[in-house]
Amino acid sequence: MPRYRKLYYGVHIGRKTCLCNFTGACIIDKNHFMRLLFIGLLCCSTASGQAIFSGKDSSVIKIINDLPASEPFDTAHSYRKVNSPYVYIISDKDLYDIFGWPIPVKYEDFNFSDYHILGTLECKQCMLYCHHDEGQTNCHCNRCNKGWVWTMRDNKKAFTEIPVTIMPGHIGNKLLSKHHSFIGDTIIKATPDNSMTQWYVTGHGDCMAHFNYSLFTDKYHPVLLLQERNYWGGCRAGGSRDYTISFIMSPGILYHTKNTILMRKSEY
C-alpha cells in the first residue's frame, strides 16, 4: 500500500511543523531548534507504530479530494442539510441521493462491494497531522478549518456485522400506531428490560418489492449502519413494507444511519 506510507510520512512532517507552535511563533532560533529537534525526535519515536489518522482508522485507503467540502452537497436541492457529522456512501444510490448529478457519473467504477466512502466533518490538517486523541493540544500553526473530509474505506476493516432478528410489521410499539406521521423513518427503542433494541423500518419500493436488512457498527466511529437491500419486484405500483429489527445495542453508539441499496429482482 504505497499511499499509506506517503501519509505516514505526513505525520512526521506534521510533528515537526507543530513544534513551531510551542514557542508561540513560527520562527525558531538555533538553540531552540536543537532542543525542538530533540523533542521532535522523542515525539516521532513514540508516534511511530501509531495509525495514520487521529481516529487510528486502519480501514482508510485514501482521502477523496473531488467531493464537496461544504454544504449544500447537491446544488439542485440546496435546502437539504446533513444532520449528522457522518455521511456514509455505500452504493451508487447514496451518491445520487447525496450529491445529485453529475458526481455519480465520476464514480461509476467505484467498487462498492469492497469499499465505501465516509464523509466526516472535521479539520483536514488535524486529521492528517495531529494527535488530539493522545492529548496533543497545539498542532498546526494556522487556525482549524472544519469541512467535509471524504475517505475511501475498506468495508471489511471498517464494519462489524451485528446479528439481527427481522420480523414483518412494527411489533410492540404503541407510539407508532398512534402517530401515523411516522412514514419511512426509523426509531430505535429498547425493550422494557433493556436487553434488546428495536429498529422500526419501512422499506419503500414497488408493490412486489422484497427487502432484506443487515446491521453494522463502525469500528472507528460511534455509528450504527443499517443496510437495506431493496429488491425490485417488477410491479408498476408503489409499495412499502414495515419491519422490526431486533438486536443487542453496542455500547457508545451516538448516531445511526439507514442506507438503501437498489437490487435487481434476479439477485433476490
Cβ 144 to Zn ion shortest distance, Å: 3
Our finding on whether 245 is near Zn ion (CB under 5 A) is: no
126 vs 223 by CB, closer to Zn ion: 126
Our finding on whether 127 is near Zn ion (CB under 5 A) is: no
Options 15-23, 64-72, 136-144, 234-242: segment touching Zn ion (CB under 5 A):
136-144
Our finding on whether 59 is near Zn ion (CB under 5 A) is: no
Our finding on whether 18 is near Zn ion (CB under 5 A) is: no
Please list, in sequence order, all residues whose beta carbon lies within 8 angstroms of the beta carbon of residue 93, skipping any fewer than 6 positions away.
259, 260, 261, 262
Q: Return d(Cα 124, Cα 244) in angstroms, integer.
A: 39
Our finding on whether 130 is near Zn ion (CB under 5 A) is: yes
Long-range contacts of 16-20 (CB under 8 A, 24+ apart): 16/40, 17/129, 17/140, 17/141, 18/129, 18/130, 18/136, 18/138, 18/139, 18/140, 19/43, 20/141
Alpha helix (H) ranges present in 49-193? 92-99, 103-106, 124-129, 155-158, 174-178
60 vs 123 by CB, closer to Zn ion: 123
Cβ 132 to Zn ion shortest distance, Å: 6
CB atoms within 10 A of CB 86: 18
Our finding on whether 144 is near Zn ion (CB under 5 A) is: yes
Our finding on whether 54 is near Zn ion (CB under 5 A) is: no
94-112 CB burial, b ≥16 within 10 A, e <16: bbebbbbeebbeebeebeb
Q: Tell me whether residue 225 is exposed, middle or buried, using C-beta atoms within 10 angstroms of its C-beta: 0 to 12, 13 to 18, 19 or more.
A: buried
For the chain, the first-to-last Cα distance in angstroms comes to 35
Cell of 27: 520562527
56 vs 189 by CB, closer to Zn ion: 56
Our finding on whether 123 is near Zn ion (CB under 5 A) is: yes
Our finding on whether 141 is near Zn ion (CB under 5 A) is: no
Our finding on whether 126 is near Zn ion (CB under 5 A) is: yes
Our finding on whether 125 is near Zn ion (CB under 5 A) is: yes
130 vs 263 by CB, closer to Zn ion: 130
Cβ 128 to Zn ion shortest distance, Å: 9
Our finding on whether 11 is near Zn ion (CB under 5 A) is: no
Our finding on whether 190 is near Zn ion (CB under 5 A) is: no
139 vs 215 by CB, closer to Zn ion: 139
- Summarize as ranges the residues that interact with Zn ion (CB under 5 A): 123, 125-126, 130, 139, 144
